[in-house]
């Protein structure tokens, strides 16, 4: 148990590794409570309709059925049962209307989950089916109104002026206006315009959503697989009209989150059911149900650039339609925050961005690793290669010419600080051996390479509070609301405590995500934990040191006498007693964007930067694409735990590879035809190419010990790098994800013969 | 949910009331963990002996037996397996020697507790029986050495100079020397000397001891019915050589404690077993086993007074022998702390006290409600009436003459402050209608009345740390290591938070006793929680207010602008986010007694004062005594929750009534012949007299909002008040507890006929 100096940059094994591999780590799915009932959800069988009748009597009479709950029951407990982080638009159970196929309509409770499941069939629901709208662009002009009125939440006050400007299907219309775009276009040597689309997809966390609600006396405990327990507490307390402290939200380990476990998912249904029947209630989704719970936005992105003869981009116009499905979830923030960087990683003087959060009758979309950036990067980095090719400029050279460099203002006006874009691009190019010739193949199999880079502004301003309790033996316990959803935050944050207090790791214990134990944290999302919670921990450690100094003074000891905590507390309390408790609250500097222009000089705590290089082999007879190399380079500042960080980059890239090549929710009349992992294909081991993942040696001066977040940075470049590599290999311009063999083959057939390509 | 001003003095219902009456409140006995084994303890069948052989092979081979653990196994994990709060004298399992009947020798583990229990019979242990010593006075000169050497713990440094002065059976010899006792006795008009004895008894908490040990990866969680989890954590970490934070000690509700659940009881055995077999282990005692686990000291007290003609006590000599049994537990502190007030509640210039902690071959004795004061009060307040009667002075008048009054120094030299002795005595006398004649009966049934008063110095110096977390909705969570063992501390401490932060009770949540959640507390003992933790809470609330002021300043708001916490945090963090966390550490002023004289001007955080008046009816034919009235008056300062306080006084008096009239551990060769609640009689409903319990209207200026502890004060006067009432009724001078019908009858037969009494 010796102390080894700097704890930062050490790849120590995850604190929970043994518990996980031995099956002892706690997951909510394993939880059983005395008297617990299982809830199963009856879901809408139409995409849009009025509920004319619900008859639950037959189901209630079923053997072993404890109760059947509908929205009428919930109204007796919660008069305004609508929730949501941006809009209070989502009912706990559907009231008069259903807005998407699979929307929860009723819940059956039984001690045996199989009994509850079977009883669903006995509930009779009669719908008056209504016309629905599914496409994000069509919805803007559709006569179908998914919601009759818009109800932005109080926390959404900063964007209220952008709500429902066109009609109620356009929940939010984020605008950025920089320079004079029209004049620049008028003066342009070349104008390029392309429209890109991405598909609706889902998180596919191996742990489907699960919540156990345990009622107390005027109190409630939720054991739930949430990425933001503090939000769940506030929102459930708001729904119930209770003080916050009567709601306890516990999150043990998560089997993946990726943004799908943010905000209310099952928590409100389980809470209401448990309070109505005065019994613990567990609701665990099947994987199939997850497809109807939360997804990744399908998008349409139109992008148009003005370019000079010598390849300088002088203006860019970008219009993005985000298909948010039937309920807004956090989509409006995706629309806004991703909107900041929709013009891409280039230094462009004149920029116009319009980003629309759209309601449709699809399952809701929310946050998914990258928070919209991967969809935009697919557009802007494909667009980049299309322009370069048309101008006959090497795509890397074109990027070098236009790259947004350190110290320059980004489209929003915020300065690029500690944003090593050149380094990332340089490392990808070097690994691809960009200048050197590539064996491009001939005949049936053709090879190509491509690269892409992206940037992301983090969600801001958000708060993290950390508490460090140093006990009388000198060992420390860290309390953080950061959910460890598999990303290794417990370990990384533990290392930051150890570093900040100069302790060996063995003397640090991490307590995470139980609102009765851990202080406020906005949530585990937006790759924010290392940066925000890390900074909060540094402040908490400063507080500990300040208190130790005060204790020295109180004891009349000379300053800096270097007594250990143990000695000081022994002197103060006469025995091994007492604690030194330090608290740190962190919120980064932030300036709200100007309501008219969307500009602000301070929009992000740090810049997330990542890029990808790809080499592909295209079977021109089948359209099948094999990614042969995938090089992912990301900037994590001074990385706390390199091995864990590498697994994050790697995981992000593989996830985005799935969205690029395979994953696609296929709809028929609003119903997902492939709502299972049998038919919705995520990358298997065989699909994963030779991966190279690299962390830059960098530093973010605002981050804890120089660190920044990187959990999403591996996603940015994957889709366009692969698309650009295919373009390079066979000259086809793909604009839609996923890149299926059919799509490639179709494009190959309609393109000019390969032999004639330039 | 309206706010009603002062929260102090309100008898709000207990926070846990509904959970308890509906069976939902958590107790360790109800706990089951996956893979959990049950441990059953094989116990010594001799009072003192050498273990010649233990053969566990047959037991191990038993169907369903998982493991059998002996001290040899424990040594592989813990090389020095001795624990104890004062002396490190108690092995986790007996090593070479057993020192009392019922001492743990081996543990059988099995998934089925009945299997484990049956397998005990298959373990063969061969003892070489050795001569034993049982009596606390005999032990001082006995050739039997219960321990060959004495091993005081580091925490016992202040009394090291008093250890083992006579021989190793006298663990500690506390001395107090005030004035010139010998001169005063030489000059005395009258000298009175009596010797009193009390029996060994036990706590009889309705929940016997239980611990579940749950091993982690280099960590351990103990779910245990402990009154001082912080101590358990430190001591288990010390035994294992681990940092403290790797040991988590959780205590849900206790089914009574009364001092019997302090310090290591089952925790070390369960911890060692769980770590040895890598499985959760539960050990739950039967009530019979509790008799061999921890008890109340049997005592012999010799008390001698010099008195002037007119009834002034000028000197007192007091010698007390505390029968601590085979292991010291906290007995040395009982010997010392009770020793402070052994001379009683009188203003005596010359005092000599010798208080001996004695090792014998009986089951260990430790803390029990009153921490030695009830045994001493039995002596000094019986002695008081004997003197008064002999001098022909009314016992109340004699007390008035000698009473230790406000502002006067007590025997130790510490000043009586906020110690309303006169008020207590006055209220008892008033309720007994002392001046008025009593119907004394005639013939067979005789009636009498008596009163008695006592005082106690609290254990000092001890530390409590409280943490108050105010969330962004303005509601607060209190974190305290105070075990609510049925006394209602959660409620009272919650009221103190509400009062200190001006919150309605609905906005306060109390989290208790989980060392991973709650900061350090010395323990729930010595009626210290309301005073110590209450003061820590006030300091924590001050810290909250200081931080709110700092936040106002940071936000540029005018001082005292009266923004709510909610508003301030909203302004600071832009949404309902963040926390204000206040921490308070309290330790009362204290001066260690002079090593030679035992004197100190500051020995107690507050003076606990209580007294009792009794009326009895004695059946002179059978010796049966019926207590017809029991009036208990106690000082709780400004009482936080009067109804809860009344139940404490009432409970304390009934408990002491049991020790006075019924309870007695009967030994044969060190074996307890009545080790069950069938044969060891605690008061039943029918035995409880008409009770009158009264709280003074008082204030302790050092206490939180004027409050002080009173959980023990109801015990002080009960035994002597009843003894004095019997003396008053039938003129017999009882000196031993319990006051059985046989003892009364024997005394009546050897006394002069009733008709001749003065």
- What pLDDT, in 10s, does the model give residues A571-614? 999 899 999 999 999 999 999 999 999 999 999 999 999 999 99
Using CB atoms within 10 Å of the CB of residue B332, give its burial: 0 to 12 exposed, 13 to 18 middle, 19+ buried. buried
The whole-number average pLDDT for the span A313-323 is: 98
The whole-number average pLDDT for the span A321-326 is: 98
Integer angstrom CA distances of residue B719 from A370, A495, B319, B370, B741: 75, 59, 19, 12, 15
Residue in chain A nearest B591 by alpha carbon: A574
Give the closest-approach CA distance of A394 to chain B in angstroms: 46
Report whether B437 contacts B367 (CB < 8 A): no
Give the closest-approach CA distance of A529 to chain B in angstroms: 15
Please indicate whether, in this complex, the C-beta atoms of B573 and A517 are within 8 angstroms of each other: no
Please indicate whether, in this complex, the C-beta atoms of B477 and A516 are within 8 angstroms of each other: yes
Of the partner residues B19, B244, B579, the one whose CB lies closest to the CB of residue A216: B19
Of the partner residues A245, A511, A522, the one whose CB lies closest to the CB of residue B577: A522
Directed axis angle between helix A421-432 and helix A395-402, to 10°?
A: 170
Pairwise CA distance, residues A667 & A202, whole Å: 13
Strand order in the sheet with A607-619: A441-442, A445-457, A607-619, A625-634, A690-695
- Minimal CA–CA distance to B319: which of B288, B348, B357? B357
- Quick one: pLDDT band at residue B753, thresholds 50, 70, 90? low
Residues of chain B positioned with their CB less than 8 A from the CB of A577: 230, 462-463, 520, 522
The whole-number average pLDDT for the span B386-397 is: 98
Residue-range domains of chain B with CATH:
17-25+462-586 (3.30.365.10), 34-130+209-284 (3.90.1170.50), 295-459+594-756 (3.30.365.10)
- Minimal CA–CA distance to B284: which of B325, B352, B223, B242? B223
Please indicate whether, in this complex, the C-beta atoms of B578 and A475 are within 8 angstroms of each other: no
- Quick one: pLDDT band at residue A752, thresholds 50, 70, 90? low
Of the partner residues A24, A246, A581, the one whose CB lies closest to the CB of residue B583: A581
Is pLDDT at B3 greater than 50 in this prediction? no
Query: What is residue A157's predicted lDDT score, i.e. its pLDDT?
Result: 86
Please indicate whether, in this complex, the C-beta atoms of A577 and B463 are within 8 angstroms of each other: yes
Residue in chain B nearest A519 by alpha carbon: B579
Query: What is residue A755's predicted lDDT score, i.e. its pLDDT?
Result: 55
Query: What is residue B561's predicted lDDT score, i.e. its pLDDT?
Result: 75
Tallying the residues shown for chain A, one arrives at 758
DSSP structure class, residue B755: G
Residues of chain B positioned with their CB less than 8 A from the CB of A235: none
The model's pLDDT over A673-703, given as tens digits with 9 standing for 90+, comes to 999 999 999 999 999 999 999 999 899 999 9
Is pLDDT at A655 greater than 80 in this prediction? yes
- Listing DSSP states for B215-251 in one string gives E-SS-EEEEE--S-HHHHHHHHHHHHT--GGGEEEE-
Copy the structure tokens of residue A91: 């009912």
Copy the structure tokens of residue A421: 């874009």
Q: How many CB atoms within 10 Å of residue B231?
A: 26
Mean pLDDT of chain A: 96
Query: What is residue A262's predicted lDDT score, i.e. its pLDDT?
Result: 97
Pairwise CA distance, residues A210 & A255, whole Å: 11
Is pLDDT at A2 greater than 70 in this prediction? no
- Listing DSSP states for B48-60 in one string gives SEEEEEEE-HHHH
Give the closest-approach CA distance of A330 to chain B in angstroms: 15
Report whether A416 contacts A345 (CB < 8 A): no
Is pLDDT at B4 greater than 70 in this prediction? no
Copy the structure tokens of residue A355: 């980003």
Residues of chain A positioned with their CB less than 8 A from the CB of B244: 471-473, 475
- Quick one: pLDDT band at residue A756, thresholds 50, 70, 90? low
Please indicate whether, in this complex, the C-beta atoms of A217 and B19 are within 8 angstroms of each other: yes
- Does the ipTM exceed 0.90? yes
The whole-number average pLDDT for the span B66-89 is: 98
Q: Which residue has the tokens 């209310």?
A: A264
Query: What is residue A66's predicted lDDT score, i.e. its pLDDT?
Result: 98
Query: What is residue A156's predicted lDDT score, i.e. its pLDDT?
Result: 87
Please indicate whether, in this complex, the C-beta atoms of A507 and B467 are within 8 angstroms of each other: no
Please indicate whether, in this complex, the C-beta atoms of B520 and A219 are within 8 angstroms of each other: no
Is pLDDT at B343 greater than 70 in this prediction? yes
Is pLDDT at B245 greater than 90 in this prediction? yes
The whole-number average pLDDT for the span A464-475 is: 96
- Quick one: pLDDT band at residue B559, thresholds 50, 70, 90? confident
Copy the structure tokens of residue B363: 């089951």
Distance of CA B235 to the CA centre of its chain: 20
Report whether A702 contacts A605 (CB < 8 A): yes
Pairwise CA distance, residues B596 & A645, whole Å: 64
Query: What is residue B169's predicted lDDT score, i.e. its pLDDT?
Result: 98
- Minimal CA–CA distance to B93: which of B168, B146, B58, B42? B42
Pairwise CA distance, residues A228 & A523, whole Å: 4
Residues of chain B positioned with their CB less than 8 A from the CB of A469: 519
Give the closest-approach CA distance of A336 to chain B in angstroms: 17
Chosen for mutation from B30, B216, B220, B473 (greatest number of chain A CBs closer than 10 Å) is: B473
The model's pLDDT over B9-47, given as tens digits with 9 standing for 90+, comes to 999 999 999 999 998 899 999 999 999 999 999 999 999
- Minimal CA–CA distance to A344: which of A718, A739, A716? A716
Query: What is residue B412's predicted lDDT score, i.e. its pLDDT?
Result: 97
Of the partner residues A517, A575, A581, the one whose CB lies closest to the CB of residue B517: A517
Report whether B482 contacts B529 (CB < 8 A): yes
Residues of chain A positioned with their CB less than 8 A from the CB of B579: 465, 519-520, 583, 585
In degrees, rounded to 5, the angle at the alpha carbon of residue B75 between the alpha carbons of residues B72 and B79 is 155
The model's pLDDT over B283-296, given as tens digits with 9 standing for 90+, comes to 999 999 999 999 99
Query: What is residue B5's predicted lDDT score, i.e. its pLDDT?
Result: 53
Give the closest-approach CA distance of A507 to chain B in angstroms: 6
Of the partner residues B475, B575, B577, the one whose CB lies closest to the CB of residue A245: B475
Q: What phi and psi values does residue B416 have, to the nearest 5 degrees?
A: -75, 115
Query: What is residue A559's predicted lDDT score, i.e. its pLDDT?
Result: 76
Buried b or exposed e, range B67-82, using 16+ CB within 10 angstroms? bbbbbebbbebbeebb
Please indicate whether, in this complex, the C-beta atoms of A245 and B217 are within 8 angstroms of each other: no
The whole-number average pLDDT for the span A516-528 is: 95
Residues of chain B positioned with their CB less than 8 A from the CB of A219: 509
Cβ–Cβ pairs < 8 A, chains A and B: 139
Residues of chain B positioned with their CB less than 8 A from the CB of A250: none
Residues of chain B positioned with their CB less than 8 A from the CB of A605: none
pLDDT > 70 in chain B, percent? 98
- Minimal CA–CA distance to B19: which of A745, A216, A268, A8? A216
Residues of chain A positioned with their CB less than 8 A from the CB of B585: 573, 578-579
Please indicate whether, in this complex, the C-beta atoms of B516 and A520 are within 8 angstroms of each other: no
The model's pLDDT over A409-425, given as tens digits with 9 standing for 90+, comes to 999 999 999 999 999 99
- Minimal CA–CA distance to A718: which of A331, A382, A327, A295? A382
Query: What is residue A561's predicted lDDT score, i.e. its pLDDT?
Result: 75
- Listing DSSP states for B674-698 in one string gives T-STTTSPPPPGGG--EEEEEE---
Query: What is residue A562's predicted lDDT score, i.e. its pLDDT?
Result: 79
Query: pTM of the prediction?
Result: 0.95
Copy the structure tokens of residue A312: 């300088």
Give the closest-approach CA distance of A413 to chain B in angstroms: 22
Pairwise CA distance, residues B353 & B40, whole Å: 43
Please indicate whether, in this complex, the C-beta atoms of B573 and A18 are within 8 angstroms of each other: no
Pairwise CA distance, residues B237 & B219, whole Å: 10
- Listing DSSP states for B604-658 in one string gives -SSEEEEEEEEEEEEETTT--EEEEEEEEEE--BS-S-HHHHHHHHHHHHHHHHH
pLDDT > 90 in chain B, percent? 94
Query: What is residue A611's predicted lDDT score, i.e. its pLDDT?
Result: 98
Query: What is residue B758's predicted lDDT score, i.e. its pLDDT?
Result: 45
- Quick one: pLDDT band at residue A753, thresholds 50, 70, 90? low
Residue in chain A nearest B17 by alpha carbon: A217
Chosen for mutation from A231, A244, A512 (greatest number of chain B CBs closer than 10 Å) is: A244
The whole-number average pLDDT for the span A214-231 is: 96
Residues of chain A positioned with their CB less than 8 A from the CB of B463: 573, 575, 577-578
Instruction: Strands of B297-444 (E only): list them.
Output: 298-307, 313-323, 350-358, 365-366, 441-442
Please indicate whether, in this complex, the C-beta atoms of A581 and B465 are within 8 angstroms of each other: yes
Q: What phi and psi values does residue A376 have, to the nearest 5 degrees?
A: -70, -40
Residue in chain B nearest A464 by alpha carbon: B578
Chosen for mutation from A463, A533, A568 (greatest number of chain B CBs closer than 10 Å) is: A463
Of the partner residues A245, A473, A476, the one whose CB lies closest to the CB of residue B477: A245
Query: What is residue A3's predicted lDDT score, i.e. its pLDDT?
Result: 39
The model's pLDDT over A610-629, given as tens digits with 9 standing for 90+, comes to 999 999 999 999 999 999 99
Residues of chain B positioned with their CB less than 8 A from the CB of A477: 245, 516
Please indicate whether, in this complex, the C-beta atoms of B463 and A522 are within 8 angstroms of each other: no
Pairwise CA distance, residues B700 & B310, whole Å: 34
The model's pLDDT over A30-87, given as tens digits with 9 standing for 90+, comes to 999 999 999 999 999 999 999 999 999 999 999 999 999 999 999 999 999 999 999 9
- Listing DSSP states for A206-232 in one string gives SS--EEEEEE-SS-EEEEE--S-HHHH
- Quick one: pLDDT band at residue B558, thresholds 50, 70, 90? confident
Please indicate whether, in this complex, the C-beta atoms of A519 and B581 are within 8 angstroms of each other: yes
Mean pLDDT of chain B: 95
- The DSSP H or E segment spanning A339 is helix A331-340
Residues of chain B positioned with their CB less than 8 A from the CB of A517: 511, 516-517
Is pLDDT at B156 greater than 90 in this prediction? no
Residue in chain A nearest B215 by alpha carbon: A24
Query: What is residue A650's predicted lDDT score, i.e. its pLDDT?
Result: 97
Residues of chain B positioned with their CB less than 8 A from the CB of A509: 219, 245-246, 516
Is pLDDT at B1 greater than 50 in this prediction? no
């Amino acid at each position: 148990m010796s102390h080894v100096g700097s704890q930062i940059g050490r790849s120590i094994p995850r604190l929970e590794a043994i518990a996980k591999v031995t099956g002892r780590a706690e997951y909510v799915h394993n939880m059983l409570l005395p008297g617990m009932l299982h809830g199963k959800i009856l879901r809408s069988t139409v995409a849009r309709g009025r509920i004319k009748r619900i008859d639950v009597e037959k189901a209630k009479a079923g053997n072993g059925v404890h109760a059947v709950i509908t929205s009428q029951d919930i109204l007796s407990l919660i008069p305004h049962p609508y929730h949501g982080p941006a809009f209070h638009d989502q009912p706990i159970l559907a009231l008069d209307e259903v807005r998407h196929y699979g929307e929860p309509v009723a819940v059956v409770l039984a001690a045996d989950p199989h009994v509850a499941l079977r009883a669903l069939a006995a509930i009779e629901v009669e719908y008056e089916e209504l016309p629905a709208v599914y496409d994000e662009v069509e919805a803007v002009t559709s006569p179908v109104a998914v919601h009759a009125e818009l109800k932005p939440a109080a926390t959404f006050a900063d964007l209220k002026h952008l709500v429902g400007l066109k009609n109620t299907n356009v929940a939010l219309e984020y605008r950025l206006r920089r320079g004079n775009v029209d004049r620049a276009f008028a003066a342009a040597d070349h104008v390029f315009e392309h429209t890109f689309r991405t598909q609706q997809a889902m998180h596919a966390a191996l742990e489907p959503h699960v919540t156990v609600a345990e009622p107390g006396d005027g109190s409630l405990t939720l054991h739930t697989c949430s990425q933001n327990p503090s939000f769940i507490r506030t929102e459930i307390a708001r729904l119930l009209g209770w003080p916050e402290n009567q709601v306890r939200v516990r999150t043990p380990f998560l089997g993946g989150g990726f943004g799908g476990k943010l905000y209310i998912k099952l928590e409100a249904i389980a809470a209401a059911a448990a309070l109505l029947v005065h019994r613990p209630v567990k609701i665990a989704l099947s994987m199939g149900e997850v497809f109807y719970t939360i997804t990744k936005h399908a998008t349409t992105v139109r992008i148009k650039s003005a370019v000079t003869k010598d390849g300088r981009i002088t203006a860019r116009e970008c219009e993005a339609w985000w298909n948010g499905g039937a309920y807004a979830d956090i989509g409006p923030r995706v629309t806004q925050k991703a909107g900041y960087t929709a013009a891409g990683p280039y230094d462009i003087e004149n920029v116009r961005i319009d980003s629309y959060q759209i309601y449709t009758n699809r399952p809701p979309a929310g946050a998914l690793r990258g928070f919209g950036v991967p969809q935009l990067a697919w557009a802007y980095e494909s667009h980049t290669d299309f322009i370069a090719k048309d101008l006959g400029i090497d795509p890397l050279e074109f990027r070098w010419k236009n790259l947004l460099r350190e110290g320059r203002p980004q489209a929003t006006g915020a300065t690029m600080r500690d944003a090593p874009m050149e380094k990332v691009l340089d490392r990808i190019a070097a690994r691809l051996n960009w200048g050197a010739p590539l064996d491009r193949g001939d005949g049936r199999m053709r090879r190509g390479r491509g690269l892409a880079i992206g940037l992301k502004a983090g969600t801001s301003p958000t708060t993290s509070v950390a508490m460090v309790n140093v006990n009388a033996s000198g060992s420390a316990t860290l309390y953080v609301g950061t959910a460890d959803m598999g990303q290794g935050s417990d370990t990384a944050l533990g290392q930051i405590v150890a570093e900040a207090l100069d302790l060996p790791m063995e003397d640090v214990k991490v307590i995470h995500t139980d609102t009765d134990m851990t202080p406020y944290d906005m949530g585990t999302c937006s790759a924010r934990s290392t940066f925000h919670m890390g900074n909060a921990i540094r402040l908490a450690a400063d507080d500990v040191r300040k208190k130790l100094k005060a204790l020295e003074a109180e004891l009349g000891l000379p300053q800096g006498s270097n007594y250990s905590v143990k000695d000081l507390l022994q002197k103060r309390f006469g025995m091994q007693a007492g604690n030194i408790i330090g608290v740190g609250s962190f919120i980064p500097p932030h300036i709200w964007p100007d309501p008219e222009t969307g500009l602000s000089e301070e929009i992000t705590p740090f810049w997330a930067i990542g890029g990808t290089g790809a080499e592909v082999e295209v079977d021109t007879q089948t359209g099948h694409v094999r990614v042969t190399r995938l090089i992912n380079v990301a900037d994590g500042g001074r990385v706390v735990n390199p091995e864990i960080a590498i697994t994050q980059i790697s995981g992000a890239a593989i996830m985005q590879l799935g969205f690029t090549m395979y994953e696609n929710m296929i709809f028929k009349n609003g119903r997902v035809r492939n709502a299972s992992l049998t038919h919705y294909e995520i990358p298997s081991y065989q699909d994963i190419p030779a991966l190279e993942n690299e962390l830059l040696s960098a530093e973010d001066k605002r981050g804890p010990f120089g660190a920044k977040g990187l959990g999403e940075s591996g996603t940015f470049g994957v889709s366009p790098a692969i698309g650009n590599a295919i373009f390079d290999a066979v000259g086809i311009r793909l604009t839609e994800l996923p890149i299926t063999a059919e799509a490639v083959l179709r494009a190959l057939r309609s393109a000019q013969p390969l032999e004639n390509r330039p």
